[in-house]
Amino acid sequence: RDLYLDVPVDLSRCLFLCTANVAETIPGPLLDRMEVIRLAGYVFEEKLQIANQFLIPQTITTHGIDGDVITLNPDALAELIRNYAREAGVRQLRKLLEKIARKVALNLVRTEVEKRMLTVIGLDNLTKFVGQPPHTSDHLYPEGMPPGVCMGLAWTSMGGKTLFVEARGRVPEAPALPKSTDASKAVGSSQEDGKEKGGARRR
């Protein structure tokens, strides 16, 4: 019985589907009662085809934009996939395309019909629509890593990330003498000087 609707519900023929990026965050008792099906993420070429065949046409249609007023260059789309949407799926890529479509639609509404022009989105104006890329290139040392630097790989739920680990060292400083030793030497030397001066006066 559903306690919220207060009606009987038959769940004997229901199939529940759950999605997760990582299985480690699922509680153990629940995970034991589930059948886990692991699906690999999309590679760059697959994301490119999905965007051209499905995401871009759907985004233009849902935002009421004519395909003749907006053009997304292939290099700009490749930049979106490489440095903006690196997740295994295409959810973030869809959000970025929708963000671009909203800004283009807003510009069309604010512009008179006679003055409307084709909006071409390329590498030169991509940041005006989606901002700066959250990811950067992994090639920090194009000419080879310098001595003392090694490359590692970190695994996260959003994919892999290369890390550069640098070993740094310093020359140890010379040990300083304790202050008490310096003071005792100063007192001893002053006493010896006094004795010498006193002996000289007696002579």
Could you read off the pLDDT tens digit of each residue along the chain, which spans 203 residues?
778 888 888 888 888 898 887 888 899 999 999 999 988 788 899 999 999 999 999 999 998 888 788 899 999 999 999 889 888 889 999 999 999 999 999 998 888 888 888 889 999 999 999 998 887 666 677 777 888 888 888 877 666 777 888 887 776 777 766 655 554 554 455 555 555 545 544 44
Q: How far apart are CA 203 and CA 200, in angstroms?
A: 5
Buried b (16+ CB within 10 A) or exposed e, 105-125: beebeeeeeeeeeebebeeee
Nearest C-alpha neighbor of 119 from the set 69, 56, 60: 69
Phi, psi of 160 (to 5 degrees): -95, 155
pTM: 0.61
What single-letter DSSP state applies at residue 31? H
Q: How far apart are CA 69 and CA 100, in angstroms?
A: 13
Q: State residue 176's pLDDT score.
A: 67
Q: State residue 200's pLDDT score.
A: 46
Cβ atoms of 63 and 101 within 8 Å: the answer is yes
Q: State residue 128's pLDDT score.
A: 92
Q: How far apart are CA 40 and CA 38, in angstroms?
A: 7
